[in-house]
Structure 1
Amino acid sequence: MNLILSSYLRILKERDELDVLLPDLLVCMGLLPLTKPQTGTRQFGVDLPAIGPDLEDKGKQKLFLFVLKQGDIGRSVWSGDPQSVRQSMDEIFDVYLHSHVSANHKDLPKKIVVCTSGDLKEEAKANWSGYTNDNAHRAEFDFWGADKLAALIERHMLNENIFSSEDRVDLRRTLALVSESDYSLNDFHRLLLRQLGLDSDGRNIDSEVKPKALKKAFTRINLATRVLATWALEEGNGKQAVIAAERALLWTWHRVQLEPESSRKTLNPEIAATWQNYQTITKTFFEKIQDHCYIKDSFSGYARDNAVLSLILMELVGLVSVIGLAHCYRLDANENDKIIFRENANIVSDGLVSLIRNNPTTSSPRLDSNAIDIILAMMLLYSTGRHAEAIDWLKEMVKRLDYTFKINRCFPIDKESVDDLADFEAGNLSKEEISKLKTTSWLLPTLAGWSAILEQPEIYQVLVNLQSDTCKNVCMQLWHPVQDVFQLLYFKIAHYDCGEAEAPILLADNMEEHRQRMLKLIESTRHNILSISPATQAGLMPIDLIASRHFRTFVAPFYWYSLSRPYTP
């Protein structure tokens, strides 16, 4: 485990990751961070001050001053620019200790700790030794490199009492297999269930657990998720990193909902950290694929339309869409942060538009459940003002669907079986077997709804004609969750065990009549799950959408029907 942690630490970035990890470690060591690491402000050498017992000096109370750096410390990093180690420590003595230490802490012994994700290189050891010896009368010094940090993490965050041998085995197995594209992450899921105290159905198996213990469990989960995600991204499998971050976020949020309402607020800081974990991982993933979105056929390698390519691209459409929606629908932010979130959402939306334009197979869904990914993408495009682009995509999808249903080939099947899809693609099925693959459809009424939202009567009419002719034996349906959905939504696929089915749906002859049906539903108190969503109430409504994408639960029509008119939750 120490070797795994050490390898993980060596690829951390100072500002994005190491400064997130260090405060958690210090808390587990019994130290109290006095501030959080910040960017853009003058720090006078100190990235993170903390007070607490020095475990290497018989628990003596001290003021710790942490200087964070990235990678190995060589001669150029030691001294040579304004951000060098020596410059930082000089500023601590010249400024920080004189003007930034409170009266309560002035008499405490001072310990300056240079903390880095690398090592102190041989060429800088003499400089370090000379400097620390010359200033030993002013403060104590310590160096925490990757190996020492790994040992501290293992001892204080992942010790045998709180991170069992089973957890360690499952984490090791996950890291060994995470580079494989078809790995299910089951080992990681078992680790999460044990840490959260949940059984396989999402029930709490330890009702006596205290919020303080839950806080520590959430911190350990965040660490394990960061290790896994960093490993996956380095191995070139960023999709696994995002999926792991989604699962950790959703199951942690589910566990919070099992607590008494009076206890939930005490867990807000840990939930905020879990959410930030998700956003950091998804940001890195999007940055890795962003340039490829703007290159023609970059994700298909110039291959012709086929089922495998469609599955890959539609999953990518869903992943990118929820990354954008996570910024677009944040309700807990101040006005300045909302501007930043909106800019981020626009950047992701532009990437999504280019992904769709440069990969035409995104207009050829092969599974009816791809309606989930399409809804999420349409929500992002619509909410960021890309209406023309959404209309172009909708028009192309409906044109292709009309054609594939008429020729009875390559249409989106209503089964989740890859084997059935492969047999269908290969032409191995009889007409009777093919007809069983299109008994129901979520996708067709979904596209009809978006035709109404985007005010496209001609596209809507194509779908009406399709239902009355080629698809007259296809049962169009939608799923409408009600209040009990939140017992399941964040843990597993929800539409099999709760909610109401609207079926069969007969499209109205004209689009305006269909729109009025949609407006009537969003006036229904029973179906207004947005107002009672615990995620929405916490200002994190995107968690509901992430849950739909991750577990393949159909996106509640109330969420996207509401875009047909201004709505205030």
Structure 2
Amino acid sequence: MKLLLREYVAALKERGELDAILPDLLSELGYNVFSFPKRGTAQRGVDIGAERADEDGIRKVYLFTLKQGDLTRQDWDGSPQAVRPSLNEILDTYIPNRLPPHLRGLPIMICLVFGGNVREQVREQLTSFTTKHSTDRISFVEWNGDYLSGLLLTGLLREELLPASMRSVFQKAVALVDEPHASIVHFRQLATALHEAANADAKVRVRSARQLNICLWVLYVWAREAGNLEAAFLGSEIVVLAIWDLMRLHIGAQDKTAEDMSRVVSEVISLHITILGSLVDEKIMPHVAIRHGLTSAVPSHRAIDKNLALFDMLGRIALAGIWLDWLRQRDIDIDKDALYQASRAYLRGGVALIENNPVLLLPATDHQATDIALFLMLWLTSATAIAGSQAWLVMIVERLEYTLHTHGQYPCTTSDYRDLAEHPRHRSDAYLEEMTSASTLVPLVAAWLAGLKDQQGFDQLAKVVREKLQHCTLQFWLPDSDTDANLFHPRKQHGRALCGLSLDEGANAFLDMVKAACHEDHGFNGLSAMQTGYWPILLLACRHHRLPLPPHLWLPAFRERGEPGPSEGSPSEQPE
């Protein structure tokens, strides 16, 4: 276990990785962290500041300066960001001017933290520097990768908190990152065990959240080294949902537990966005412009495998763009234009994926309506490009009409792989009625065509429903009072269906019917993710658990009588 953690620590980058895990580790070890890593501000050599009482009862201040990997000659004194200039800034500026007033009289320990070790050619210079500047009040200590991995084992991952059985499961998950589906089985088992252990009290919930965060970091770093981020991405979805389920119990509280949980939530969301962005940027985006490129890349000759994989890719692209747009609207200390351009790049990539892979013109199963809705929501963030979604929706309607009339591979209600692989088993009306008994895809497409004022497309879909889907129950999924307690970590069935929908009265009447039903429904507004502004977590949960997106999420984008309007905060004045 220590070797696994040692390799993990050595692979951590300085910014956004090593400085992301250390504050949680220090807090769990009893340190009071008073200064956290910041970007865009001068830190005067100190990445993290903390204080605590030692074994002898003497309170000390700990000032941490971090460096990834081994400490080399270049890292020691080869640039303004090297270790020696940082130490000089701590001694000359931070200690005299930056220490909080109540800590200025305490002994100071300057901690040099490395993911690896100190190289021999630097050892003499480092020792000379620390000896020269050590005083009765100021001393120096090294925390190398081996020491950090030991702290992880004695802190967040110690035996009484992570028993041998759970450590074994964790090791299997990490060892199998090249086999993502096998790895994620073990990682889900670990996450479930840590989540269930957190039901005891608030302190245990914070610790479990930190453990989940650390375990995800280890999985991600090993997956990154192996060049296969699939297990890390799936694991990040599991961890975000598990930690949010713990966090929602503290919403509205003003105590330290709520503050600690909020910080862990922010950290794990940031990690999830990093993993998702890396996966999309490295594995999907470079190939979206190639005709049939990603369709051909799916390692299967079965049409169903290609269909499932491509819609899954589209959903991932959509979530990556939506997260960036959410960050742009929420975070004030960030390059908003860069985030906007990155989000638009994902939108353009998704459009190119659809244009170059015709398999995306018709889903195989009704459950893929979630991926379609996600990409439509990303499309909404750009008011200047939303009209382009109409062509895609119309092509879906045309292919739906053709496959229904020919008893071909029309979207069906089942999610069982064997049933999908053999669909259609029979080309009879009875089989068609059985496999299309209900649909969330049809009302989703109908509502968007109505909202985008595509009367011709809506009428064509209404005609298809009258001729071939009279038996089909058109429905939307709506959250209920039990949803918040079961959506992020399922315990029992929740939510309800909005049924009785009809396209016969026309586009405006249909859209008004859906709006009225959502207006009368209060389950959506009671969701913790909506109350706190973390609404992308709701999208993530729906995608992960294959639930349809509630129409409340996109209905506000359509003004009265179906006129499309830009989503809140969309910089519609900027050109594509």
TM superposition score normalised by structure 1: 0.88
Question: 5+ unaligned residues in a row in structure 2: which ranges?
Answer: 560-564, 569-576
The answer for the alignment partner of 1:152 in structure 2 is: 151
Pair 1:546 & 2:543 matched: no
Q: Which amino acid aligns with 2:147?
A: K
The answer for the alignment partner of 1:134 in structure 2 is: 132
4+ residue runs over 6 A deviation: 302-305
Alpha-carbon distance in structure 1 between the residues aligned to 2:256 and 2:556: 29
The answer for the alignment partner of 1:201 in structure 2 is: none
User: Structure 1 residues 47 and 338 mapped into 2: Cα distance closer, same or farther (>3 Å)?
Assistant: closer
| Alignment root-mean-square deviation, CA | 2.9
User: Structure 1 residues 351 and 484 mapped into 2: Cα distance closer, same or farther (>3 Å)?
Assistant: same
Shift in Å, 1:332: 8.9
- On the 8 A contact 2:440/2:475 being kept in 1, the answer is yes
Pair 1:219 & 2:216 matched: no
Question: 5+ unaligned residues in a row in structure 1: which ranges?
Answer: 199-203
- On the 8 A contact 2:28/2:155 being kept in 1, the answer is yes
Which stretch of the first structure deviates more once superposed, 474-483 or 305-314?
474-483
Alpha-carbon distance in structure 2 between the residues aligned to 1:460 and 1:564: 15
Once the two structures are superposed, residues 443-495 of structure 1 have per-residue CA deviations (whole angstroms, 9 ceiling, x without a partner) of 1111111111221111111211111223334333323333332232222397x
Shift in Å, 1:380: 1.7
Alpha-carbon distance in structure 1 between the residues aligned to 2:61 and 2:133: 16
Alpha-carbon distance in structure 1 between the residues aligned to 2:404 and 2:25: 57
Alpha-carbon distance in structure 1 between the residues aligned to 2:378 and 2:41: 34
Which stretch of the first structure deviates more once superposed, 458-467 or 230-239?
230-239
Which stretch of the first structure deviates more once superposed, 249-258 or 451-460?
249-258
Shift in Å, 1:308: 0.6
The answer for the alignment partner of 2:64 in structure 1 is: 66
Pair 1:506 & 2:497 matched: no
Which stretch of the first structure deviates more once superposed, 130-139 or 360-369?
130-139
Alpha-carbon distance in structure 2 between the residues aligned to 1:260 and 1:182: 34
Alpha-carbon distance in structure 2 between the residues aligned to 1:263 and 1:195: 25
1:405-444, aligned counterparts within 5 Å?
405-424=404-423, 429=426, 431=428, 433=431, 436-444=434-442
- On the 8 A contact 1:27/1:33 being kept in 2, the answer is yes
Shift in Å, 1:294: 4.4
Tell me the SS of whatever aligns to 1:66: strand
Shift in Å, 1:63: 1.8
User: Structure 1 residues 115 and 551 mapped into 2: Cα distance closer, same or farther (>3 Å)?
Assistant: same
The answer for the alignment partner of 2:571 in structure 1 is: none
Alpha-carbon distance in structure 2 between the residues aligned to 1:263 and 1:176: 40
Alpha-carbon distance in structure 2 between the residues aligned to 1:439 and 1:63: 67
Which stretch of the first structure deviates more once superposed, 318-327 or 336-345?
336-345
The answer for the alignment partner of 2:528 in structure 1 is: 534
The answer for the alignment partner of 1:520 in structure 2 is: 516
Shift in Å, 1:538: 1.6
Shift in Å, 1:548: 0.9
Alpha-carbon distance in structure 2 between the residues aligned to 1:451 and 1:140: 69
1:111-122, aligned counterparts within 5 Å?
111-122=109-120
Once the two structures are superposed, residues 422-443 of structure 1 have per-residue CA deviations (whole angstroms, 9 ceiling, x without a partner) of 122xx76564556532332221
Alpha-carbon distance in structure 2 between the residues aligned to 1:405 and 1:53: 73
From 289, 295, 300, give the equivalent of 1:295: 289
User: Structure 1 residues 266 and 342 mapped into 2: Cα distance closer, same or farther (>3 Å)?
Assistant: farther
Q: Which amino acid aligns with 1:404?
A: T
The answer for the alignment partner of 2:41 in structure 1 is: 41
Shift in Å, 1:396: 2.4
Which stretch of the first structure deviates more once superposed, 500-509 or 39-48?
500-509
Pair 1:188 & 2:179 matched: no
User: Structure 1 residues 338 and 453 mapped into 2: Cα distance closer, same or farther (>3 Å)?
Assistant: farther
- On the 8 A contact 1:332/1:538 being kept in 2, the answer is no
Alpha-carbon distance in structure 2 between the residues aligned to 1:171 and 1:302: 31
The answer for the alignment partner of 1:267 in structure 2 is: 258
Once the two structures are superposed, residues 54-99 of structure 1 have per-residue CA deviations (whole angstroms, 9 ceiling, x without a partner) of 46xx564322121111222111111121111112112222322332
The answer for the alignment partner of 1:170 in structure 2 is: 169
Alpha-carbon distance in structure 2 between the residues aligned to 1:104 and 1:446: 59
Alpha-carbon distance in structure 2 between the residues aligned to 1:48 and 1:463: 59
Tell me the SS of whatever aligns to 2:49: strand
1:25-36, aligned counterparts within 5 Å?
25-36=25-36
TM superposition score normalised by structure 2: 0.87
The answer for the alignment partner of 2:231 in structure 1 is: 240
The answer for the alignment partner of 2:399 in structure 1 is: 400
User: Structure 1 residues 455 and 16 mapped into 2: Cα distance closer, same or farther (>3 Å)?
Assistant: same
Once the two structures are superposed, residues 537-560 of structure 1 have per-residue CA deviations (whole angstroms, 9 ceiling, x without a partner) of 122122222111111122222222
Alpha-carbon distance in structure 1 between the residues aligned to 2:164 and 2:471: 55
Shift in Å, 1:52: 1.7
Q: Percent of aligned positions with the same letter in both sequences?
A: 26
- On the 8 A contact 2:362/2:396 being kept in 1, the answer is yes
